[in-house]
C-alpha cells in the first residue's frame, strides 16, 4: 500500500474543494441586490416633492416679507425727534422726498452714471454678481483702508426697501434671495426706477427727483452728464460728500464717476474732458429742518432704530445737554479768530456726551470732529509707548534724546533741544520726537500699528518711521476712542450716540472687549499723568487727577489735546480748514485751554470765567498761542477779549489791556520743559 496521495485526494485536515463554478461566472458578490426601479422612482419623487415644497415656502415667505408693491413706494423715513439723555430736544428731522422717476423719461446718461460706478454689469446679472463679490473680497483682504462692497443695484434696492443695515450673514443671505426675487418679477427698468426713487443722497434727501431739485433746482429729466455723475457719486458716502458742505469732495467723486463712464463705454474720453465742474443751484426749502453736529452724526443710526414707520418718533441719545452747552461755550470763548475748532467728549464706554464740529453750524455743517481727518501729531505717541510697554519696557527705562545721525529719516526735536540720556517718562512728558522714533525702530512699525488698531483706529496708517510722530491722518473721534480705552482699561471702545441695544450671547462673545495688561495700563497712565501735569500739557491740568497728551503738527497746521479726568474723555482740535499754518499754535496752548475750560465745568470743578472772544482773526492767528521756555517753566502768552492771558504751568494770570504792569505771577510749579513738538517728518 503506497503512502503517497493521489491528486484527487485532499490532504489530511484540508477543507474539501468548493463546487466548480460554471464557465464565465465570477465569484459570489458581497453587495446587496440592485434596488428595484420602482423604488428608485418613488425616492426621486419624494426628493422632488421636498424641493417643490421648500421652493413654494420660499416664494410664500418672499411674498409676505418682500411684497413687490413695497418697492413701488419711496422710502419715507419717520419724522424723528432726537432727545438728549436728560430728556431735552436736540433736533427734529424729517426727510425730503418727491415723486418716483420713470426710466423712459430720463436721459440715457442718468442711469448710465449710476451703473458705471455702482454696478457695471447691472444689465446682465440676475441680481447678484459673483465677479463683483470676488473682487470686493480680494480688495478687502489685501487692503489696509476702507472696505469695498460687492452689492449690485438690485441688492441695494432689496436692502434699502426691505431690510435693515445690519452687517450680518443672515441679512446678506436674505438680501441675495430678495434680489433674485426682484429680478424674477421685475424688468431691469423697473428695478432701476425703484432704486433711483429710493436711494439716499445726503442732506436728508431721498430719491433722484428730490436730490435733483435740492442740489440743482431742476427736474431729473433735464440733468446734465456732470450733474448725474455728481449725484451718482454721492451714494458712496452721502452724508460726508453732500456738496452743500463738501463741494470739493463731491466734485472729486464725480470725476471718478465720469472716468468710470468712459471705461464702461458710456462716454468718450474727449466728451469727459469737455465736461465743466458742476455748480450748485440750491432750492430754498419751505420748511427748514433743525440740526446740530451731533444730530447729523447720530441721525442715520436713529432712523434704523426708529424703524420703517410713518409716525413721528422720539429717539433717546447719549448727549448731555448741560455738557453740550459747556462745550459750545468753551469753543466760543477760545479766541479762535479765523481758525476752526472741534471737540468731542465721551464717557470711557464710548457714550458721546458732547460734540462740537466747528465754530458755527449755520455757516458750516461740516463736522470736523467726525468727518475731518487731520494729523494727530504727538498724541499718536500713546500707541508708540504702549507698544514699547507690550515689548517689556518700563517708564524708568532709558532712551537717547539726542539727534539721529544715521538712516534716511532724521527727525528733530522742536526748537532743536535735546537732553541726552533720559527716561521714557521724561521723553513722553517733554514729547521728544527722536525718542519716539527710536522706540518705533526698537519695537517695529507693525507693533505700533497693531496697538493703534487694537484701540480702534481704522484710518490708513503709513508703514514708515514718520508714523511715530503722527503723520497719518486720523479723525478726532478715533483719537478720543483710543484714549477712552485707556480710561476704561478695556479695548476697543467705540464711540456711539445712542444707548447700546441688548446683544445676543453669540454677538457678545464674538465682539467682547479685552482688558489691558495691568502693568501696561498702570505705566501708560503714569506717562499720561506726567504729560498733563508736569509736561507739555500742564495748561490743561485740573485739581482732580488729569491724564492727557498734546499734539502739534508740522508748521502748526494742527494743534490737539486729548485727555481724561473725572470720568470724561475729551479731544480738542484747533486749525484752519484749508490746512494752512496757524502761527504760534501748539497743543499745549489753545486746545489745552479749551479742554480745561470745558472739563472744569463738566466735572463741576470751579474755574475762573474767561472773557468772550471778539478779536480780529488775523491777529489771533498770529499771536493767540505764543509759547516760550524759561527757567521757571513753560510760559504761554495768549490774547483774550479784554486783555492778555499769561500761563505759567497750570496757573493763569489775566492782564487787562489798560493795566501797565501785570500782577505778580504765582510761583512756578512745573519744571523746565519745551513747547509741544511738531513732527519733522513728511
- Cis peptide bond prior to 33, omega within 30° of 0: no
**Distance in angstroms (rounded) separating the CA atoms of residues 629 and 636:** 9
pLDDT tens digit sequence for 315-334 = 999 999 999 999 999 999 99
Which pLDDT value is given to residue 30?
61
C-alpha cell at 664: 505778580
**Could you say which residues of the chain have pLDDT below 70?**
1-33, 55, 58-79, 132-150, 162-172, 283-291, 306-312, 503-511, 607-682
pLDDT tens digit sequence for 219-261 = 999 999 999 999 999 998 898 899 998 999 999 999 999 999 9
DSSP annotation of 251 reads H
Task: Say if residues 456 and 478 touch (Cβ distance below 8 Å).
Answer: yes
Q: Produce one character per residue of 624-645: b if its CB has 16 or more CB atoms within 10 Å, e if not.
A: bbbbeeeeebbbbbbbbeeebb
Which pLDDT value is given to residue 676?
44
Q: Which 3 state secondary structure label does DSSP give 215? A: helix
Query: At a CB cut-off of 8 Å and minimum separation 6, what does 433 contact?
Result: 378, 411, 412, 413, 414, 468, 469, 677, 679, 680
Instruction: Report CA dihedral (150, 446, 559, 645) to the nearest 10 degrees.
Output: 150
Q: Which 3 state secondary structure label does DSSP give 274? A: coil
**Distance in angstroms (rounded) separating the CA atoms of residues 161 and 207:** 12
Which pLDDT value is given to residue 79?
62
**Predicted TM-score of the model (pTM):** 0.59
For every residue of 323-361, which 3-state class applies, written as one string?
HHHHHHHHHHCCCCCCCEEEEEEECCCCEEEEEECCCCC
What long-range pairs does 210-218 form, CB within 8 A, spacing at least 24?
Answer: 210/96, 210/97, 210/98, 213/98, 213/283, 214/96, 214/282, 214/283, 214/285, 215/243, 215/244, 215/280, 215/281, 215/282, 216/278, 216/280, 216/281, 217/281, 217/282, 217/283, 218/281
CATH topology of domain 328-603: Beta-lactamase (3.40.710)
C-alpha cell at 307: 424703524
Closest of 395, 440, 400 to residue 420, by C-alpha: 400
Q: Produce one character per residue of 502-533: b if its CB has 16 or more CB atoms within 10 Å, e if not.
A: eeeeeeeeeeeeeebeeebbebbbbbbbbbbb
CATH topology of domain 96-274: Penicillin binding protein transpeptidase fold (1.10.3810)
Which pLDDT value is given to residue 163?
60
**Distance in angstroms (rounded) separating the CA atoms of residues 331 and 580:** 20
Residue 203's region, left for phi above 0, alpha for psi from -120 to 50, else beta, is left
Amino acid at each position: 500500500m503506497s503512502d503517497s496521495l493521489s491528486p484527487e485526494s485532499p490532504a489530511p485536515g484540508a477543507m474539501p474543494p468548493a463546487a466548480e463554478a460554471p464557465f464565465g461566472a465570477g465569484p459570489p458578490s458581497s453587495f446587496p441586490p440592485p434596488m428595484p426601479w420602482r423604488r428608485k422612482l418613488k425616492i426621486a419623487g419624494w426628493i422632488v416633492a421636498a424641493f417643490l415644497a421648500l421652493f413654494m415656502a420660499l416664494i410664500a415667505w418672499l411674498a409676505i416679507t418682500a411684497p413687490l408693491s413695497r418697492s413701488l413706494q419711496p422710502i419715507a423715513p419717520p419724522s424723528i425727534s432726537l432727545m438728549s439723555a436728560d430728556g431735552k430736544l436736540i433736533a427734529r428731522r424729517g426727510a425730503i422726498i418727491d415723486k418716483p422717476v420713470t426710466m423712459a423719461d430720463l436721459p440715457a446718461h442718468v442711469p448710465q452714471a449710476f451703473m458705471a460706478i455702482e454696478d457695471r454689469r447691472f444689465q446682465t446679472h440676475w441680481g447678484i454678481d459673483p465677479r463683483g463679490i470676488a473682487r470686493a473680497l480680494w480688495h478687502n483682504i489685501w487692503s489696509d483702508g476702507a472696505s469695498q462692497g460687492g452689492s449690485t443695484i438690485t441688492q441695494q434696492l432689496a436692502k434699502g426697501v426691505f431690510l435693515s443695515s445690519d452687517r450680518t450673514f443672515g441679512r446678506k443671505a436674505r438680501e441675495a434671495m430678495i434680489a433674485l426675487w426682484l429680478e424674477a418679477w421685475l424688468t431691469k427698468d423697473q428695478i432701476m426706477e425703484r432704486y433711483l426713487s429710493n436711494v439716499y443722497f445726503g442732506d436728508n434727501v431721498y430719491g433722484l427727483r428730490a436730490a435733483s431739485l435740492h442740489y440743482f433746482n431742476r427736474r431729473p429729466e433735464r440733468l446734465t452728464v456732470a450733474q448725474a455723475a455728481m449725484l451718482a457719486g454721492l451714494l458712496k458716502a452721502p452724508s460726508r460728500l453732500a456738496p452743500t458742505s463738501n463741494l470739493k469732495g463731491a466734485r472729486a467723486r464725480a470725476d471718478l464717476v465720469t472716468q468710470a463712464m468712459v471705461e464702461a463705454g458710456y462716454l468718450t474720453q474727449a466728451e469727459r474732458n469737455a465736461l465743466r465742474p458742476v455748480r450748485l443751484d440750491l432750492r430754498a426749502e419751505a420748511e427748514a429742518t433743525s440740526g446740530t453736529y451731533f444730530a447729523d452724526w447720530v441721525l442715520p443710526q436713529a432712523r434704523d432704530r426708529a424703524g420703517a414707520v410713518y409716525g413721528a418718533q422720539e429717539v433717546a441719545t447719549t448727549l448731555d445737554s448741560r455738557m453740550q452747552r459747556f462745550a459750545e461755550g468753551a469753543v466760543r470763548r477760545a479766541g479762535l479768530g479765523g481758525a476752526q475748532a472741534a471737540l468731542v467728549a465721551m464717557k470711557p464706554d464710548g457714550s458721546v456726551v458732547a460734540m462740537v464740529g466747528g465754530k458755527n453750524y449755520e455757516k458750516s455743517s461740516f463736522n470736523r470732529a467726525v468727518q475731518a481727518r487731520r494729523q494727530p501729531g504727538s498724541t499718536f505717541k500713546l500707541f508708540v509707548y504702549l507698544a514699547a510697554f507690550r515689548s517689556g519696557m518700563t517708564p524708568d527705562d532709558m532712551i537717547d534724546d539726542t539727534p539721529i545721525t544715521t538712516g534716511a529719516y532724521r527727525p528733530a526735536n522742536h526748537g532743536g533741544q535735546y537732553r541726552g540720556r533720559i527716561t521714557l517718562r521724561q521723553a513722553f512728558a517733554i514729547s521728544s520726537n527722536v525718542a519716539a522714533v527710536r522706540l518705533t525702530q526698537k519695537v517695529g512699525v507693525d507693533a505700533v500699528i497693531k496697538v493703534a488698531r487694537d484701540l480702534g483706529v481704522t484710518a490708513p496708517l503709513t508703514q514708515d518711521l514718520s508714523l511715530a510722530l503722527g503723520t497719518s491722518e486720523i479723525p478726532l473721534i478715533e483719537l478720543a476712542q483710543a484714549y477712552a480705552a485707556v480710561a476704561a482699561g478695556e479695548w476697543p471702545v467705540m464711540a456711539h450716540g445712542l444707548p447700546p441695544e441688548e446683544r445676543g450671547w453669540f454677538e457678545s462673545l464674538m465682539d467682547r472687549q479685552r482688558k489691558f495688561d495691568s502693568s501696561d495700563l498702570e505705566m501708560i497712565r503714569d506717562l499720561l499723568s506726567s504729560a498733563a501735569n508736569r509736561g507739555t500739557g500742564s495748561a490743561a491740568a485740573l485739581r482732580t487727577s488729569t491724564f492727557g497728551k498734546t499734539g502739534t503738527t508740522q508748521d502748526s497746521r494742527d494743534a490737539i489735546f486729548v485727555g481724561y479726568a473725572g470720568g470724561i474723555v475729551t479731544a480738542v482740535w484747533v486749525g484752519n480748514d484749508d490746512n494752512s499754518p496757524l502761527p504760534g499754535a501748539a497743543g499745549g496752548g489753545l486746545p489745552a485751554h479749551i479742554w480745561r475750560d470745558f472739563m472744569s465745568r463738566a466735572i463741576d470743578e470751579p474755574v475762573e470765567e474767561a472773557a468772550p472772544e471778539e478779536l480780529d482773526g488775523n491777529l489771533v492767528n498770529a499771536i493767540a498761542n505764543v509759547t516760550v521756555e524759561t527757567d521757571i517753566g513753560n510760559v504761554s502768552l495768549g490774547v483774550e477779549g479784554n486783555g492778555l492771558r499769561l500761563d505759567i504751568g497750570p496757573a493763569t494770570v489775566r492782564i487787562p489791556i489798560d493795566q501797565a504792569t501785570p500782577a505778580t505771577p504765582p510761583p512756578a510749579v512745573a519744571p523746565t520743559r519745551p513747547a509741544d513738538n511738531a513732527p519733522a517728518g513728511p
